[in-house]
A and B are shown apart, each in its own frame.
Chain A
Amino acid sequence: MSTLGEVWTWLGTGANWAGENGVWHRLVEHVSLTVGCLSASCLIALPVAVTLGHLGRGGALAVNLANVGRAVPTFAVLVLLLLTPLGRHGDWPTFIALVLFALPPLLTNAYVGMRGVDRNVVEAARGMGMSGRQLVWRVEVPLALPLMLTGVRIAAVQLVATATLAALVGGGGLGRIITAGFNLASTPQVVAGAVIVAVFALLLEAVFEVAQRLGPAWVRGRAR
């Protein structure tokens, strides 16, 4: 297992972590790209899903969007955007492609969560004289929150994984370590980069898991 040893040596070399192309810099790029895209897609998807879920319209849209999202290769979207005039504006193609990619799980989960709220509870709240706005904020959104947060979790983990593709079109992030390794024909660097990305994705998954277990009961959702 000499490859493993070489990977270990690569990871242990301080020079590989420092500087413009170092792991730390790429990690910061990766995190900022992921956080930026996640925030933008939440800001777009959640209000739309809450509105449609409250009105009870757009179920077909939510389901179809999820299916289309799986069928369209993110890499293709990335390259297509890169070749449009947008491609001259730095990170925008990557940003837009990743936001588009994160929308389906957010929309679908939030919509399903809103529709899944017990109709009797909604009727009772209406009977108590709640307005539409009060109904959304005091009843439906709190009850839909666990499923909504599951959507955010899925989107976040997928974003971390997919943000590596930015490197294929010359963007930043941890994927750059892998593609640079390919260009240098350095298997240890390729595998080391892959290990770092995989560990990062798994760590994020673990953080969400712990947060959900330790979080207040209303975040976890009651046993159904």
Chain B
Amino acid sequence: MTAAPATATAPPDDCLARNDWICGDYLATRRHILLDAVLQHLHLTVVSVLLGLVIALPLALVARRWRWAVGPVLGLTTVLYTIPSLAMFSLLLPLYGLSATLVIVGLALYSLTLLVRNILAGLAGVPEEAKEAARGMGYGPLRQLLAVELPLAVPAAMAGLRIATVSAVALTTIGAIVGHGGLGNLIYAGMNAYFKAQVLTASVLCVVIAVAFDLLLLGLERLLTPWRRA
């Protein structure tokens, strides 16, 4: 192989210069950018789903306690779910401005439908005998709810939580429109710069995060319901 004379105009022969889809140099040189984006992504997802859970649980309990509330609660959360994500973030814009809060509130509103529905289904599926046994042991309504009904509703609620979390990971990318999209920011910037390695790496990381959360929640469900492993 003859050594080509190095000229100032010749592009360096590495995958960044070639704009390859898969590029080790990208991973090495942009490690911190990627890490920051992943952390922001995790933060947005976790906080929004937790916020959704904090709102969904009382809503589900209200809907269970007063039957007339079921229709309005399910109707409202379903309507929220129908609003397109780009529109949802835009509608909240006057309230929160270009902030992470905007993305978190938007994602939390999305998770409500899945969470409320599944918690209600879980509570409805608690066997009557279990509740009678609790009453027979002298449990009051609150203790019965906390010690018997909610634990037995965990599997159904967890199914909703898993779907909500996985969807939230994917939807977070749209937050890039307001500059708070975690890995979505990298995808957005990569699109404008035609930077293939950045777009592919960020996209793959999104899917990896979604799968990791799903497995984590599956493990948590098994921990919370030891009686089902018998």
Question: Taking beta carbons and an 8 Å cutoff, which residues of A are in contact with B?
Answer: 3, 67, 70-77, 79-80, 82-83, 157, 160-162, 164-165, 167-169, 175, 178-179, 181-182, 187, 190-191, 193-195, 197-198, 201-202, 205
Contacts and interface: CB of A to CB of B under 8 A. Distances in A.
- State the main secondary structure of chain B at its contact with A: helix
Contacts of A195: 87, 91
15 contacts: A70-B163, A72-B207, A73-B169, A75-B187, A76-B202, A79-B188, A79-B190, A157-B82, A164-B85, A178-B87, A195-B87, A195-B91, A197-B87, A198-B91, A201-B84
Interface in B178-197: 184, 187-188, 190-191, 194, 196
Contacts of B169: 71, 73
B191 A194 contact: no
A55 to B, nearest CB: 28
A35 B93 CA distance: 30
A76 B41 CA distance: 14
A80 B166 CA distance: 20
Contact of B210 (A3, A71, A181, A193): A71
Contact of A70 (B166, B173, B199, B203): B166
Main SS of the interface on chain A? helix
Interface of B: 79, 82-88, 90-91, 93-94, 163, 166-167, 169-174, 176-177, 184, 187-188, 190-191, 194, 196, 199-200, 202-203, 206-207, 210-211, 214
A74 B170 contact: yes
Given A70-B163, A198-B82, A198-B84, 15 more contacts: A71-B166, A71-B206, A73-B169, A73-B174, A73-B184, A83-B190, A160-B84, A161-B84, A165-B85, A178-B86, A187-B93, A195-B87, A197-B83, A202-B83, A205-B82
Contacts of B84: 160-162, 164, 194, 197-198, 201
A63 to B, nearest CB: 12
Nearest to A205: B82
Contacts of B88: 194, 198
Contact of B94 (A67, A73, A191): A191
B163 A193 contact: no
Given A190-B93, A191-B90, A201 B83 contact: yes
Contact of A190 (B83, B90, B170, B199): B90
B196 A83 contact: yes
Contact of A76 (B90, B93, B163, B187): B187
B85 A161 contact: yes
Contacts of B202: 76
B82 A76 contact: no
A79 B202 CA distance: 11
Given A161-B84, A194-B86, A80 B203 contact: yes
A197 B83 CA distance: 8
B207 A202 contact: no
Nearest to A202: B82
Given A73-B206, A75-B174, A179-B177, A194 B196 contact: no
